[in-house]
Structure 1
């Protein structure tokens, strides 16, 4: 049920974001990209549609089943999608030109956010990039901002606690600074609710 709700409710809202990310990132056909916490697989599907070698990773078997059904015609042994913990990516160092993640940091505990980003950094080649789309910090004091805060509260106590910690502690810019990852460019989208960040790995 979660997978069905995600693909029918969340993905349509993010459709424009999915298209924007590879354009903003400057990802070229043939480059390798790992989408971390890939959910329904929609971002990987967008990469593949553009000739980009997109791969997805998620811990949820239900979401991976949905991903494979919607976006991956290959048999499981050759799947674009991997079941694994984002804190421990099952890939060697410098395996990808890019890593990306969308709305997958704000809901995690502080230490988990750091561990995920550290792993995303590890598997990117030197001079490669991390692309992150997550809530703008601070969120705009607008009706859309109020809607997001309400949705995050409804999502549950732990989720909302992590969301508040994320905003209070500076969001994505603060996380990247702690890991000594240099931000190259940012773009506010979706009525200012989301910021897409492009960070370069030296």
Structure 2
């Protein structure tokens, strides 16, 4: 499915968010990346968040399991290291990175706690994580956003070649933990200082967190 939507992925992101997704990516990077950091952008898709991390001064690895997504990412940068791989089995040693980001990707992982544990594993103690993701909206604008994501976005997707795969979007949001629940899962996975920032009328959440030190077996 992700190979099929690769050609329309960037266009649909701009359309679904009225172009605000790029600002949200910059905010994500600004919250967790310091110049000189070794940065992992997991589920990197076509690479926009990885490129934002590189512009912030990071030494960036972008990882995705979709070859077609990575093909498009490689066209955007030859300096980011693009790796085909699985978030549930990251091909990196423990503590390899100073910061990690995931933009609109963890919602599609079949085992979310395992994915968060892998992100914790490859971060050094004190390393920072930023997760940008669609979440279930709250408040007065909730009916509008439910209409937008449940009806309008899938309809728009059908107008683009390969975009019919976007019919999966409403179901993926409904089964994904809401913002407080994701914050709790991050704490269970070994993160502290979890903070949540909501965007787009509460339809998008940025979770940031710090990797705690891993206790030894005899501690």
- TM-score, with structure 2 as normaliser: 0.77
Q: What residue number does 1:129 align with?
A: 128
Residue 102 (structure 2) pairs with residue 101 (structure 1):
yes
Determine which of 30, 47, 60 is the counterpart of 1:41.
47
Q: CA deviation at 1:149?
A: 3.6
125 and 152 in structure 1: CA distance in 2 versus 1, 3 angstrom threshold:
farther
CA distance in 2, matches of 1:163, 1:13: 19
Q: What residue number does 2:59 align with?
A: 53
Is the Cα contact below 8 Å between 1:134 and 1:172 reproduced in 2? no
Is the Cα contact below 8 Å between 1:106 and 1:171 reproduced in 2? no
Q: What residue number does 1:17 align with?
A: 24
CA distance in 2, matches of 1:181, 1:152: 35
SS of residue matched to 2:107: coil
Is the Cα contact below 8 Å between 1:145 and 1:193 reproduced in 2? no
Q: CA deviation at 1:60?
A: 0.5
Q: What residue number does 1:164 align with?
A: 174
Q: How many positions carry a matched residue from both structures? A: 193
191 and 17 in structure 1: CA distance in 2 versus 1, 3 angstrom threshold:
same
CA distance in 1, matches of 2:34, 2:134: 26
Equivalent residues in 2 for 1:153-192, closer than 5 Å = 155-156=166-167, 160-167=170-177, 171-192=181-202
SS of residue matched to 1:91: coil
Q: What residue number does 2:119 align with?
A: 120
CA distance in 1, matches of 2:126, 2:184: 21
Give the gaps of 5 or more residues in structure 1: none
CA distance in 1, matches of 2:132, 2:179: 17
21 and 128 in structure 1: CA distance in 2 versus 1, 3 angstrom threshold:
same
- TM-score, with structure 1 as normaliser: 0.83
CA distance in 2, matches of 1:5, 1:107: 18
SS of residue matched to 2:70: helix
Give the gaps of 5 or more residues in structure 2: 156-164, 213-219
TM-align CA RMSD: 2.5
Is the Cα contact below 8 Å between 2:138 and 2:202 reproduced in 1? yes
Q: CA deviation at 1:138?
A: 4.8
